[in-house]
Structure 1
Amino acid sequence: MHLERFLENTELQKYSNFLMEHEAKALLEKYGIRTAKCIFVREEDELLEALKKTGFPAVLKIASRKIPHKSEVGGVRFVNNEEEALKSFRELMEMEFAEGVNVQKKLEAGLEIFLGISQDENFGPFLALGLGGFFLEALKTYSVRLIPVSRKDVEEMLREIPDVFEYRGKVFDREAVIELALKLSEIVEREKILEMDLNPVFLYEKGYAVVDAKIFFGERKSFERRKKIPILNPRKIAVIGASDKPQKVGYAIIQSLKMSKNVEICPVNPNLKEIEGIKVFRSIDDLPEVDLAIIALPAEKVVESVESLIGKAKEALIISAGFREAEIDEGKERDKKLRELSEKITIIGPNVFGFVNLVDEINASFTP
């Protein structure tokens, strides 16, 4: 059953938002993703017909919308002949919540990897990629990117996980991993998928096969949600305390912003007219309205600057230190005043690095 047909069935929607394995794999196959295909059976004669197609050894798995984690309930059986298959089938069908059994051919083992999809409340869907099996347990390393992902994103992800693609004399197919990750990104953009877990995926010297798949569906927040968080996507940025001296933080921030994409920089310094060809404003009062103001001033000047930014900037990001973290009375008092001002303007900080938005290519930090 494809996902769109499942979504049309209101009775099934009431029962669960989980696709059984054969349904999940049918959806993946629709997008050209290679899987260890399942044959869903409910009767013994159906089982025997399915085994004629898969041959032995085979794998029998309980199918139920209420059991996403089959192995945890003893719902996966490896069988080598009809007698073992019939015995395992009867036992699986007697388990609570069993709706049927999925039959699949036992595949030749490959390098085990996993790919997963999940949701972040603020940033939307993301893709996780890592090594599976022994490597997942031993190394516990994986890489994450927001969806949609590009080829460059996936290549970077592969560099961030341990390189075992040449292992025990075999060279495994990196290109197949990239292809699979890009197709998963496409599926999530087109379908109502909340979570997906492909684990394990067997990677071979040529190609791959998804051995197990779990998919949860439902309404999710728009991909554009993260675009609507102004702090992450400012287009006009003021730098209060901008400098033309390379040793100053105000200079480093300018360099970071110059490397950003589609950003208008509005430096503020009463003693400068321009910085590397960028017009400098003498004061905050001279500024146009901006999305974000980055403050890199001595601590004693920060509160006054934030007060002046009310009505000029939507957010203030304070790089400066010397507040509560300094554990001095003056710092605690400044911190208290900033908290009061936060009722009138959004404040990030103080004493922060800034932020880097890799999706929209904005570096609002002091590390170019």
Structure 2
Amino acid sequence: MMSIRPSMPSGLNPHLKATVDSGNLPLVKYQILNCQGQDILVGRMKIETSTPSGHAFILRRYDTGAISLTTMFRAAFPTASEQEEKEEIAWVKDNFDLTGNNGSSRDTTITRLAGTWVSPDLAMSLAESYSLGGLINVVVNARPDPGANYRRSGKGAATNTSTVPRATPASPAEASSIRLSSKAPPSPAPAPNPAKRRKESSPLPAKSQEKAPTLRRSARTKSPAPQVSAVPSKSPTTKTPRKSTRRELVDTPGGSEQTVVDEEGDAVEDVMGSELHQQDVAEQKALIEGLKAQRDALKTETENDMDVDVKPKGKRGREEEETLKFEPKEQETEPRVFATNTRVSRWKMEPQTKSMAWGVAAFLFGAGAVTLLPSLF
């Protein structure tokens, strides 16, 4: 049985209706996101919002096919509070099975990304209440090209290729100049051989040999040919403005499409990374609080057990502290019972009866003795 769903926030994105009614739905763009050492193909749809950034993204990961519920909610309700977002996500987690959509600390087989991820079918059913029905259909039906080489996020590309992307936009003229500058230093190498021969032939060329190293050293920094002195001074002046203008064009392309794509990809990676870090911190805090609660519960249980064991000892201590009083027992009025033979115990008589019996026995013994003794003598 499903629990009661929390009410939807009031601040619905005003740009959604205009976007859907226009018929020009945003396209899904793809990028490779590197997370925890794994490359994941992610699709993103840009949605206009009334926030300071001016836009939001709806994300889908293609390793599991799941769609980010967090980005759906934020694109539909950009001004909603954090508490409203938590209540909606908690309701979805309590009423739907989300296994296999995103990794967790327990399931490490799937790479974990920030936020809550749902299946495409569940995303389409939830999109109706978010007014994202047509947009989510585009995200669900979007299929990346298996043979395409999609761009990596800015940080992932920087770690993998270092400074290679900055060198790629160089023109053939600049590349040729780089090749000339790289090949220029080896050209003065043959100079030492004629200098040695001149030393062997005559001492005069030795002076020219002393001048040659100075020209050769200057040639390494400015130009390979020592004959032309004006070329080194002109070459830096002609090359530096070209490089500076080209660098300016590459760094500030005036809002080109490639720059927008790079910025969007970096923004997606920053959001995913920051949210994943915040989610890890929240999970760690919850784990620590749970461990503290367990520790406190065990502590209270042990204290209760110790109190139960200590209470009798406390009573004994109080009894020992009381002053001792001598209370003699009264003498027993009843006669003490002695153990006798079982045969004797059959004839139970009162003390008076016993004394009478003993008297009769003594009388009979005396009478018998009086009658028998005279006959004997």
TM-score range, shorter chain: under 0.3
State the TM-score, normalizing by the size of structure 1.
0.25
State the TM-score, normalizing by the size of structure 2.
0.24
Higher helix share: 2
Higher strand share: 1
For the pair shown, which has the larger CA radius of gyration, 1 or 2? 2
